[in-house]
Amino acid sequence: MAILRAQDVRQLSDVELQEQMEKLRMDLVQHYGKVSAGGATENPGHIHELRRTIARMKTEQNRRRTA
């Protein structure tokens, strides 16, 4: 899954934003599962980027909700 920047997140519709966030959350859960099982992910920095992208999406959702 591609990492989305703030500009890209702003261009998504509400439905697309929700769908992308669910996909990223599932990807993050899979990475956490690998790590907790004692394995190593191919790219440890990917977890960090997933968390930041999800935070960007949540921020955009909150911004739209209050605007």
CATH at 31? 1.10.287.310
What span, in angstroms and rounded, lies between the C-alpha atoms of 39 and 63?
Answer: 37
In a domain, 23, yes or no: yes
In a domain, 2, yes or no: no
Could you tell me if 13 and 39 are in contact, meaning their C-beta atoms sit under 8 angstroms apart? no
Query: Tokens for 10?
Result: 């702003």
pLDDT band for position 3 (cuts 50, 70, 90)? confident
Could you tell me if 19 and 57 are in contact, meaning their C-beta atoms sit under 8 angstroms apart? no
| Number of domains comprising the chain | 1
What is the predicted pLDDT for the residue at 1? 63
In a domain, 7, yes or no: no
In a domain, 26, yes or no: yes
What span, in angstroms and rounded, lies between the C-alpha atoms of 17 and 31?
Answer: 21
| Structural domain for 53, as ranges | 13-66
What is the predicted pLDDT for the residue at 7? 95
In a domain, 43, yes or no: yes
0.75 exceeded by the pTM?
yes
What span, in angstroms and rounded, lies between the C-alpha atoms of 61 and 22?
Answer: 13
pLDDT in tens, 4-51: 999 999 999 999 999 999 999 999 999 999 888 988 878 889 999 999
